[in-house]
Amino acid sequence: MASRNDSNFMDTIVSLCKRRGFVFPASEIYGGIGNTYDYGPLGVELKRRVKEAWWTRTVTMRDDVVGLDSAIIQNPKTWETSGHVAGFTDPMVDCKKCKSRFRADKLEDARCPERPSKRPGECGNELTEPRAFNLMFKTQVGAVEGAGSIAYLRPETAQGIFLNFKNVVESSRMKPPFGIGQIGKSFRNEITPGNFVFRTREFEQAEMEFFLPPEQNDHWYQYWRTERHQWYLDFGIDPSRLRMREHAPDELAHYSTGCTDVEYEYPFGWGELEGIACRTDFDLKRHSEASGKDLRWFDPDTKQKYFPWVVEPAAGVDRTALTFLIDAYDEEKVEDETRVVLRFHPEIAPITVGVLPLVKKEGMPEKALEIDRELRRGRYATFYDESAAIGRRYRRLDEVGTPYCVTIDGDTMKDDVVTVRERDTMQQERVKVGELRSWLADRIATWKRPERKS
């Protein structure tokens, strides 16, 4: 049985993701492109649910946060002003012999490609002095190449929010304290990506800039720390593997008054899932100075203008999806078999209901398809499966984390009652077809993370 403590546990996750259509290596038929991944049918649903869960809680359910979808390629002055052109760098060293490149501050974790038992530099080959390597991807805009046409793929979604601060205030009449949330792709030319989709060059972020009167900074910083921590717990993440790590003063950016990382204990060690940062008025002030546009907020009560301060919860969507996958993975012995089960929260599970006719005759498939259609109309993500023995079908759906299976049997044809099997307990209950949707809604709303032995 695979356990989280096994050194190859990540291989188990990667293999499940490929086999069941969560995540595929990108450009696989051409030999791939290092550490880049595509999301398959179940992966795209999982990620969609992660984004939906974030957006619903952070934007839709609140009257003080609105949404935005800003461009990936912005005017390059954006990145000069934000400090990314000059400072968004990693220190790199090159091996003078094999020409491999490594992060100077991560040599401890790196391996020489020619002698993998050694670290770079310990293998007998000489390394160059560290040099700053900018992580932004450059591209050309327009038909003429040249310095004037250079642009960048955004390395974070946050700056698009600052650029639109005035537009949002004027169009939506929002007043501090209020937030602007955004989900979208970001790009970083990471030299040492790794640990599957934990660190990649192309990834999605879910970021929110919360603009506030400076004197409310401490209140909102604590508020968003608590709220974001609770979000992971509410969606079933193991509390013992989640921690809040407050940055030491020497880790903070020069303009920041505080930052906390939400960290998860991955099989490869503790890692950052999300950062909640106090950015003060740094970004709005800088963009105001550089653009010549006044980005101060006019407070009609005090008749004063000021730059709002910002608290920013910034999460990685791919990292969150990976965390849900790893955290959900469980194995248990059932009779002589090992049952692999992803114990996703039902709102995170890519498929919510499996619809299974007991046998392929006596009108059961037709009845099952009718129920399947009815559930889909009610916006439930279903999967209809009529092939193989019922036990085997349950196992296949357990392995992709489907919380409920509806079985249509001979009795259903007489009394219009189905058997619903719950993934976590494997317990079965008879439910009237007409009450199925409300039964499911109730179970989903009251779902609790099951006690786990592993």
Show the tokens assigned to 276.
């909640």
Question: Cβ of residue 179: shortest distance to ligand GAP, in angstroms?
Answer: 14
Nearest alpha carbon to residue 199 among 30, 10, 348, 51: 10
Show the tokens assigned to 279.
């950015």
Question: Cβ of residue 217: shortest distance to ligand GAP, in angstroms?
Answer: 17
Stretch that binds ligand GAP, among 4-12, 176-184, 316-324, 444-452 (CB under 6 A): 316-324
Say if CB 406 and CB 419 are below 8 A apart.
yes
18, 53, 269, 364 from 1: Cα distances, Å = 19, 32, 21, 36
Stretch that binds ligand GAP, among 10-18, 87-95, 271-279, 301-309 (CB under 6 A): 271-279
Question: Cβ of residue 197: shortest distance to ligand GAP, in angstroms?
Answer: 7
Number of residues that bind ligand GAP (CB under 6 A): 18
Show the tokens assigned to 72.
């990936």
Residue number with CB closer to ligand GAP (279 or 345): 279
Among residues 275, 346, 401, 403, the one that binds ligand GAP under rule CB under 6 A: 275
Q: Is 274 a residue that touches ligand GAP (CB under 6 A)?
A: yes
Q: Is 316 a residue that touches ligand GAP (CB under 6 A)?
A: yes
The angle, 0 to 180 degrees and rounded to 10, between the axes of the packed helices 436-445 and 364-377 is: 50
Residue number with CB closer to ligand GAP (162 or 384): 162
Q: Read off φ and ψ for residue 139, nearest 5 degrees.
A: -145, 175
Closest residue to ligand GAP, judged by C-beta, is 316
Q: Is 319 a residue that touches ligand GAP (CB under 6 A)?
A: yes
Residue number with CB closer to ligand GAP (308 or 357): 308
Nearest alpha carbon to residue 284 among 299, 298, 294: 294
Among residues 10, 23, 81, 156, the one that binds ligand GAP under rule CB under 6 A: 156
Say if CB 400 and CB 426 are below 8 A apart.
no
Hey, what amino acid is at 429?
A: E
Q: Is 158 a residue that touches ligand GAP (CB under 6 A)?
A: yes
Question: Cβ of residue 319: shortest distance to ligand GAP, in angstroms?
Answer: 4
Residue number with CB closer to ligand GAP (242 or 356): 242
Q: Is 188 a residue that touches ligand GAP (CB under 6 A)?
A: yes
Question: Cβ of residue 229: shortest distance to ligand GAP, in angstroms?
Answer: 14
Q: How many CB atoms lie within 10 A of CB 167?
A: 12
Question: Cβ of residue 188: shortest distance to ligand GAP, in angstroms?
Answer: 5
Among residues 94, 190, 238, 374, the one that binds ligand GAP under rule CB under 6 A: 190
Residue number with CB closer to ligand GAP (125 or 256): 256
Question: Cβ of residue 24: shortest distance to ligand GAP, in angstroms?
Answer: 17
Question: Cβ of residue 209: shortest distance to ligand GAP, in angstroms?
Answer: 9
Question: Cβ of residue 305: shortest distance to ligand GAP, in angstroms?
Answer: 26
Q: Is 273 a residue that touches ligand GAP (CB under 6 A)?
A: yes
Residue number with CB closer to ligand GAP (36 or 217): 36
Show the tokens assigned to 200.
């990649």
Residue number with CB closer to ligand GAP (42 or 315): 315
Question: Cβ of residue 204: shortest distance to ligand GAP, in angstroms?
Answer: 8
Cα–Cα distance, 325 to 331 (Å, whole number):
13
Say if CB 297 and CB 176 are below 8 A apart.
yes
Residue number with CB closer to ligand GAP (2 or 46): 46
Q: Which of residues 192-211 bind ligand GAP (CB under 6 A)?
A: 199-200, 203, 205, 207
Q: Which of residues 11-70 bind ligand GAP (CB under 6 A)?
A: none
Among residues 80, 227, 272, 331, the one that binds ligand GAP under rule CB under 6 A: 272
Question: Cβ of residue 140: shortest distance to ligand GAP, in angstroms?
Answer: 23
Question: Cβ of residue 252: shortest distance to ligand GAP, in angstroms?
Answer: 13
Q: Is 421 a residue that touches ligand GAP (CB under 6 A)?
A: no
Say if CB 308 and CB 297 are below 8 A apart.
yes
Q: Which residues bind ligand GAP (CB under 6 A)?
A: 156, 158, 188, 190, 199-200, 203, 205, 207, 272-275, 314-316, 318-319
